[in-house]
Amino acid sequence: MYFHPIEEPDSGQIGYLLADGDTQDAVIIDPPPRSTELLLALLAERRLRLSHVLRTHVHARQPLNCSALSELTGAMLVIADGVGINAACPAKVERAVHGSTLVFGQEVLRVLATPGHTAHCVSYLWRDRLFCGDAFDLGSCADGDDDADAGLLYDSLTCRLFMLPEQTLVFPAHPLRGRRVATLGELRLRSAPLLAGSRDAFITDMTSRRAAHLRHARPSPTAKRR
């Protein structure tokens, strides 16, 4: 087994290179936009064959950069069912559907549908490790992220992710409060105050936080005149 996180300092985005040490087959999850050369060097150094480029989510306001690694390596691009893709994209595309599995070498990834941060988020479970994108970024709902849906996020956390073992290691697409890995048990305790109530209560809370955030972000009429 080979596991190598790749973090892009400017954006803080973290990708994950996984490989079967025996067969040399590899996949990359959420490759940072400017990491292509580094990833190609790592693949060459380890003599790895990249079979899949996996995305946990794609934001509507950000174009899907589909061609770089997939085109250079011939790897299959894996995105969630429902995510739009440009017809001109040269990559071979496979849809990640909840409950399906993805095999590389003798290793197996399981796909979990975890919408909320965006409408079509997925997470990938590999052994005791969960690669969840920004599924635990509760602030995306509170900060007015147009892609976020509080109801879907509540469902994904309470009915799917928190059903996994507490010892599961969670690897996000961006650091969570400065941390690059946490156990699911830790995240459950941290999220408990927000998720203790009903689904409707969570939606109301996130809506109130979003409204407050937008009020503070909007310049006051007095400030505009200055």
28 compared with 206, residue with greater pLDDT: 28
Query: Measured between alpha carbons, how far is residue 52 from residues 55, 95, 150, 176 in Å?
Result: 10, 12, 30, 26
207 compared with 182, residue with greater pLDDT: 182
Token pair 């079979």 is found at 51
One DSSP character per residue, 140-153 reads HHHTT-TT--HHHH
Model confidence, pTM? 0.88
100 compared with 66, residue with greater pLDDT: 100
Q: Quick one: pLDDT band at residue 224, thresholds 50, 70, 90?
A: very low
| pLDDT score at 216 | 65
**What is the number of helices (H) and of strands (E) in the chain?**
7, 12
- Asked if the model's pLDDT at residue 226 lies above 50, the reply is no
Task: Tell me what the pLDDT averaged over the chain comes to.
Answer: 87
- The Cα–Cα gap between 222 and 218 comes to 12
- Asked if the model's pLDDT at residue 145 lies above 90, the reply is no
**How large is the average pLDDT for residues 51-72?**
79
User: Could you read off the pLDDT of 177-190 as tens digits, one per residue?
Assistant: 888 999 999 999 99
Please choose, from the candidates 61, 107, 102, the residue with its C-alpha nearest in 3D space to the C-alpha of residue 80.
102
- Asked if the model's pLDDT at residue 172 lies above 60, the reply is yes
Domains, the chain, ranges and CATH? 2-217 (3.60.15.10)
